[in-house]
Amino acid sequence: MRKLRNFLSALALTALAAGPAVAAAAAPPPANVPVPYPHRVVTLVTHSSPGAGSDVFLRELVRYLQKYIKTTFIVENDEGGSGAKALSRVAGARPDGSMMYAATPTYILTSLLSKPAKTYRDLQPVVNFFTDSEVIYTRTDGPYKTLKDLIDRARASRGRWGAANPASLERQAAEQLRIAAKVNAAVVSHDGGGDLMINVLNGTLDMGVGEIEEIRAQLEAGKVRLLAVFNSQRIPGHPNVPTVKELGYNVVMEKFRGIAGPKGLPPEILKIWDDAALKILNDPEYKQRYLAVSLMANHIPHDKYGAFVEKFAADTSSLLKASGVIK
């Protein structure tokens, strides 16, 4: 019966995917013949709940991925244990490419903060797609026009800065900025982006650090202003917003989004994903969609992705240790 359900949702997803496929057929040279894949159905596991950030991202990705890989993708949400459940499920799956994991820094953080049965080291990073945009924002009718205003205020008296979650990268970034700028600022963590946004809007906080996706509504309505981004380069759609680094504070945060799988995946599977990722990032229609939400294409193939993830984990771990969050 479960098969039947999966089949039905597969059918539904195929119907969804048909949309972009039809549109692409009209475009000039349709060079994209989907590559054959050894499995009829591929399960993509995410730790995020239906409708939350990673989930929305993955469902959008899957629609376009089906143009390039000839299989049916199913997204399954395995919440619980802050990602530990999804981790152990994928780590224990057969390494044949039929089950993959939507990797974000969360699976590294959970591995570092607690002792899950399987850690990020039990998975093999396959390919990276994107870097999220992490921004510093303030309310439009507030007194701060640039990051300098904000830092000056914190230097003169005392800054009130906000970050979404206590153990998050945003929190770490705000702390690092405070140290790099040698100013006095209280960094207040919240229960998620909504809570933070209210306190930025009503002036309780001078600024907030968050993903651009979380603040897009307010940004488009002109209620908040971007002061700077933590990415290593300026982000698509906001070419006038400087990076923190170019303003002279050496703080960079690269929140990645990619795919990981069980250890021991065959090379041909890895190649299919490498190639498909490169193609989908250049797909004109998908490009338009992801640039609109300020995602930065960051293709890292499997032979380099492992080292990237390892370095990310090492950096995060030393940050957490330096601040005493973990021993």
- Per CB under 8 A, residues contacting another protein are 1-2, 5, 9, 12, 15-16, 49-52, 55-56, 59, 78-85, 110, 113-116, 158, 160, 165-168, 171, 175, 186-191, 194-195, 197-199, 201-202, 204-205, 216-218, 220-221, 223, 322-327
For the bound state, the minimum distance from the C-beta of residue 55 to another protein, rounded and expressed in Å, comes to 7
Taking Cα atoms as reference points, which of 62, 58, 77, 71 lies closest to residue 16?
Answer: 62
C-alpha distances (whole Å) from 326 to each of 80, 81, 213, 316 are 21, 18, 29, 11
For the bound state, the minimum distance from the C-beta of residue 275 to another protein, rounded and expressed in Å, comes to 28
3-state secondary structure of 2: helix
- Measured from the CB atom, the residue of 89 and 302 that comes closer to another protein is 89
Residues 6+ positions from 100 with CB-CB distance below 8 Å: 42, 43, 44, 45, 90, 126, 259, 260, 261
- Measured from the CB atom, the residue of 165 and 317 that comes closer to another protein is 165
For the bound state, the minimum distance from the C-beta of residue 46 to another protein, rounded and expressed in Å, comes to 13
Q: 66-96 in b/e burial notation, b at 16+ Cβ within 10 A? A: bbbbebbbbbebbeeebbbbbbbbbbebebe
For the bound state, the minimum distance from the C-beta of residue 74 to another protein, rounded and expressed in Å, comes to 11
- Measured from the CB atom, the residue of 32 and 199 that comes closer to another protein is 199
Question: CA–CA separation, 217 vs 200, rounded Å?
Answer: 14
For the bound state, the minimum distance from the C-beta of residue 77 to another protein, rounded and expressed in Å, comes to 8
Q: Which residues pair with 260 in a beta bridge?
A: 101, 125
- Measured from the CB atom, the residue of 307 and 326 that comes closer to another protein is 326
- Measured from the CB atom, the residue of 8 and 314 that comes closer to another protein is 8
For the bound state, the minimum distance from the C-beta of residue 230 to another protein, rounded and expressed in Å, comes to 18
Q: Which residues pair with 127 in a beta bridge?
A: 259
Taking Cα atoms as reference points, which of 111, 57, 103 lies closest to residue 82?
Answer: 111
- Measured from the CB atom, the residue of 200 and 269 that comes closer to another protein is 200
